[in-house]
Amino acid sequence: MKKAEKKSFGQPDEIRKFPKGYIELTMIGGATVGRAVLEPGWRWSTSVKPIAKTKSCEAPHFQYHVSGVMKVVMDDGTELECREGDVSLLPSGHDAWVVGNEPVVVVDFQGMADYAKDH
């Protein structure tokens, strides 16, 4: 790190849209940070799987949960319910969906560089 930097999700470097959600990507300090906004009814296996073309989500995530409730089921059967204020570490191999009627907003510090990117 050579200099101080500041960026804003109000002016992201890139936006990727998919059914019932989108991610805003900000590149800073050589890293990509993403903010995902996922609407009620969003589920990885129906909204992003057709783009990713993988059996389950292969992006590892290190996330801070800003709002909403997200259910995560790992390929090994481990289940998590993530809420506002939680920090989650999710390795590759999972499905996730919005629980309830409130959008889920997460800030991801690890797995968004290739998320929902058509390869």
Residue 24: the pLDDT is 97
- List pLDDT tens digits, range 81-98: 999 999 999 999 999 999
Name the token pair of 65.
């949960």
Residue 116: the pLDDT is 84
Q: Is residue 7 part of a domain?
A: no
Boundaries of domain holding 54: 14-108
Amino acid at 7: K
How sure is the predictor about 119, in pLDDT bands with cuts at 50, 70 and 90? low
Q: What is the CATH number of the domain that holds 93?
A: 2.60.120.10
Question: Could you tell me if 106 and 70 are in contact, meaning their C-beta atoms sit under 8 angstroms apart?
Answer: yes
Q: Is residue 55 part of a domain?
A: yes
Q: Is residue 34 part of a domain?
A: yes
Q: Is residue 92 part of a domain?
A: yes
Q: Is residue 53 part of a domain?
A: yes
Q: Is residue 37 part of a domain?
A: yes
- List pLDDT tens digits, range 27-53: 998 899 999 999 999 999 999 999 999
Q: Is residue 8 part of a domain?
A: no
- Measured CA to CA, the distance from residue 34 to residue 78 in angstroms comes to 24
Q: Is residue 115 part of a domain?
A: no
Total structural domains in the chain? 1
Taking all residues of the chain, what is their mean pLDDT, rounded to a whole number?
95
This prediction has a pTM of 0.93
Mean pLDDT, to the nearest integer, of 55-67? 96
pLDDT at 73 exceeding the cut of 70: yes
